Structures are given as C-alpha cells and as structure tokens.
Amino acid sequence: MNPDVGEEGRTTLVELRSHKMMSPPSRHAGSETVERIREESIYHFQQDCLEKTSELILQMHLKSVEPSSPK
C-alpha cells in the first residue's frame, strides 16, 4: 500500500472494498429475487420446525400428566 496514503485513506479503501463485496453487481438483477426466495424458504422451514417442535412438546407434556393406570 502507498505509504503516502493516511489512515483515513486506508479506511476509505477498506470501506469501498467491503461495500463492493456486499452489493451485488447490477447486471445480476435476478439476485435480489433469489435472495428473497432464499429468505422466504428459510422462514417457512423455521416455521415448520417450530410447529413440529411445539407438537412434540405438547405430546410429551400430555404423556407426562396422564393419570397413571391404577396398580
């Protein structure tokens, strides 16, 4: 790196590089759609897991509170 560039210059370069990596290139306009679909898929997967987990917990709870058969 150029020694004449001050600390601020280095920070700006780092910020530019990180911004460049984070923002998708404009020629890939479909990447926003892909990202949205991916986020929705993750959301639905999480909801399914939450629902199944809730059902299992309820079943386990009901089994634990069922009156035992008399001996």
Q: Out of 11-15, 31-35, 59-63, give the one with best mean pLDDT.
A: 59-63
Reply yes or no on whether the pLDDT at 61 is more than 90: yes
Mean pLDDT calculated for residue range 53-57: 95
Query: How many CA atoms lie within 13 Å of 7's alpha carbon, on the beta-carbon side?
Result: 0
pLDDT at 15: 64
Reply yes or no on whether the pLDDT at 51 is more than 80: yes
Distance CA(41)–CA(39), nearest Å, equals: 5
pLDDT at 31: 84
